[in-house]
Amino acid sequence: MYRFYINDIDDEYHYLELGRVFLPDDGFEVIPYRGASLSGMLTGNSFFVNEEGSSDRDEIKREFYGLLSDLTGLDPPWGTLTGVRPLKPALEIARSSSVENMKTEMSRRYLISPEKASLLADIASYQIGNIGGVPWEKASIYAGIPFCPTRCAYCSFASNVSPAEEHERYLKDLLKETAYAGRLAKEHGTEIESVYIGGGTPTTLTAEQLSRLITAAAESFSIDPAELEFTVEAGRPDTISEEKLSVLRSLGISRISINPQSMKDETLRLIGRDHSADDIREAYRMASRTGFSVINADLIAGLPGEDEKDFEKSLREIIDLGANNITIHTLSVKRGSRLRESDPGYYRRNTKTVSAMLDISRGILSGAGFSPYYIYRQKHQTAALENVGWCRPGSHSIYNIRIMEDRQTVIGLGAGAVGKVYFPDEDRIERIANVSDHKIYSERFDEMLARKDEYYR
Ligand code: SF4
């Protein structure tokens, strides 16, 4: 067990986060310290940090990073940046000076590697060139369908394998919440910029149920799904049918997400999917036949049993299948997932392989005409790496960008939905979360409605 006494800090949170990039949770302690210098007095695995008593958190973190790096021999490429939104500080610097200057400054301030600085530069350039400022007076909508056909081994989301009657009962409440939130939005003149129906797997619902949900959203918020960015996550190919896709298209929806995670049958079995790679291929063909203009695909780097070649093969195949928006995730093994319970340290191994996979994805996607356009990180990701959204020109998702910017209100509907209210004068977000269990959501439904009032209070 390492013990780090850090001089003159108010709380240990940021240092614990940085320590976790290098060491397991039970492998170290951070102890805020004030008093006479401990330098030269500590022995063994105890260390004194910030002897000079600096009040600059970045400077203390740089010193702590150096010490951790010496002790472990690791050199994590995101340096001292532990937050989930690495683009945020980068964009601020790029907008106030230049993208080139941002690269230098991010490396100096946070010790990020030249590769990650250049990734941020590409994303910042895409957003500055194609997205423009945030219309903060508008809002996005997120509606959650917390059902899936089976539960994936790495899943920590609000997702349930439930009988059809529960889907219908849940949908009825969700429609009521949608109508309530829509009425409030209309009363306050809130314009909607984008809608995202996620989960879980929304296409677990029947074609008729999907139609009711989308029609209710359109009527309640006075929107036309054909006129704004409206995405439905179809997620799992075993929930997709020609009938469902045709209904979505007939309602004006042109953006869909089909998420293979891997195109290797053995991996799909291992992670608890109840479908084959052939089912994924067929789902893509169906989506192309039905006429979706944007098809997003998620792939995960670092799935159990996969090497670089498996990953590369999956990526090349989903490009060939016609995905024009691809998110490359680094495996995150969070609490509540089966993988975490069976192998808590899994995400700490495999670092080299996963880094190599991300490098491979960058080369292949850039070469195929994709640009990286959004980025985020999660806790418990292998080597504290990142998730990056890539798109062919123009097929970026505004919703994905807004959700990372934290400068727009998000109206969250349904179990597990986390809404946000943006306060422009203070440039801050307040979260309004619905409960994540769909049964409790229904039991406490009046409370969920009351929470909607908080958006406008
Ligand atoms: S498809 Fe997504 S939400 Fe559903 S079980 Fe798998 S990881 Fe969880």
Q: Which of 151, 240, 262, 296 to mutate to test the pocket of ligand 1 (most atoms within 8 A of CB)?
A: 151
pLDDT beyond 80 at 457: no
82, 126, 250 from 140: Cα distances, Å: 27, 21, 22
- Quote the Cα angle for 65-69-74, to 5°: 125
Q: Among residues 33, 70, 69, 36, which one has the least CA distance to residue 49? A: 33
**For 418-454, what is the HEC assignment?**
EEEEEECCCCEEEEEECCCCHHHHHHCHHHHHHHHHC
pLDDT band at 253 (very low <50, low <70, confident <90, very high): very high
pLDDT beyond 90 at 337: no
**Are 388 and 352 within one domain?**
yes
- Rounded CA-CA distance 387/347 in Å is 15
* pLDDT mean over 76-105: 94
High-pLDDT (> 70) share of the chain, %? 100
Q: How many domains does the chain have?
A: 3
Q: Does residue 44 lie in a domain region?
A: yes
Q: Does residue 299 lie in a domain region?
A: yes
* pLDDT mean over 92-115: 95
* pLDDT mean over 273-293: 95
Distance 259 CA to ligand 1 centre (A): 10
Q: Does residue 428 lie in a domain region?
A: no
Q: Which atom of ligand 1 is nearest to the CA of 235?
A: 1
Helix axes 398-405, 87-96, angle to 10 degrees: 90
Q: Which domain holds residue 65?
A: 2-72
What is the pTM for the complete model shown? Answer: 0.93
**Are 95 and 63 within one domain?**
no
Q: Which atom of ligand 1 is nearest to the CA of 271?
A: 6
**Region of poorest pLDDT, from 9-23, 215-229, 347-361, 400-414:** 347-361
Summarize pLDDT for 173-202 with one digit per residue, the tens: 999 999 999 999 999 999 999 999 998 999
Ligand 1 pocket member 158 (CB < 6 A): no
Residues in CB range of 410: below 8 A, 6 or more apart = 139, 140, 141, 142, 402, 403, 418, 419, 420
**Are 125 and 144 within one domain?**
no
Q: Which atom of ligand 1 is nearest to the CA of 200?
A: 3
What's residue 5's pLDDT? 96
pLDDT beyond 90 at 84: no
Q: Does residue 372 lie in a domain region?
A: yes
Q: Which of 154, 155, 274 to mutate to test the pocket of ligand 1 (most atoms within 8 A of CB)?
A: 155
**Are 47 and 99 within one domain?**
no
Taking CA atoms only, the protein residue closest to ligand 1 atom 7 is 155
Taking CA atoms only, the protein residue closest to ligand 1 atom 3 is 200
- Our measurement of the distance from residue 62's CA atom to the centroid of its chain's CA atoms, rounded to an integer in Å, reads 27
Q: Does residue 94 lie in a domain region?
A: yes
Ligand 1 pocket member 148 (CB < 6 A): yes
Ligand 1 pocket member 334 (CB < 6 A): no
**Are 245 and 385 within one domain?**
yes
Ligand 1 pocket member 147 (CB < 6 A): no
**Are 112 and 188 within one domain?**
no
- Rounded CA-CA distance 234/236 in Å is 6
**Are 277 and 386 within one domain?**
yes
**Are 331 and 183 within one domain?**
yes
What's residue 439's pLDDT? 95
Q: Does residue 436 lie in a domain region?
A: no
Residues in CB range of 334: below 8 A, 6 or more apart = 154, 156, 340, 378, 379, 380
What's residue 242's pLDDT? 96
With contact defined as beta carbons under 8 Å apart, do 376 and 318 qualify? no
Distance 119 CA to ligand 1 centre (A): 28
**Are 119 and 189 within one domain?**
no
What's residue 413's pLDDT? 97
**Are 152 and 15 within one domain?**
no
Q: Which of 147, 148, 329 to mutate to test the pocket of ligand 1 (most atoms within 8 A of CB)?
A: 148
Ligand 1 pocket member 201 (CB < 6 A): yes
Taking CA atoms only, the protein residue closest to ligand 1 atom 2 is 200
pLDDT beyond 80 at 52: yes
